Structure 1
Amino acid sequence: MANSLRASLPKHSKQSPSDKGLRARAPYYAAIGVLAILVLAYIDGGEEPIRPISQTVEIPGMATESE
């Protein structure tokens, strides 16, 4: 009877203690990675200053001053 109870209980995982520690720290590593990407995007990105666009545009059918 005792043997049948032992057979129905789940076995312990065969992971080493270092694997369990890595799984526990994985969310922290992911958060640090996301934070690093956001900091890099903030430093590298951003708005460029607005500069005026000035160029001549020809409109068909309209006379120019030189004509």
Structure 2
Amino acid sequence: MRNNENENSGAKKTVNPLGTAPVGRLLLQYAIPSIISTLIASLYNMVDQMFIGQRIGFLGNAA
């Protein structure tokens, strides 16, 4: 018969930071990557529309 205590003694216990860390720090930690990716996607779309407007014209932007 195996001893459950020996099997679990080598496992590391991880603490979930969502339950222990300050809310402000967690908000920054999780929100900043999302904000950066949204800004990059918006910049890409603006540059894309500028190229479409230069090559095709205003009808290309309307499509």
Larger Rg: 1
Same fold by TM-score greater than 0.5: no
TM-score (norm 1): 0.41
After TM superposition, the score normalised by the length of structure 2 is 0.43
- Select the structure that is richer in helix: 2
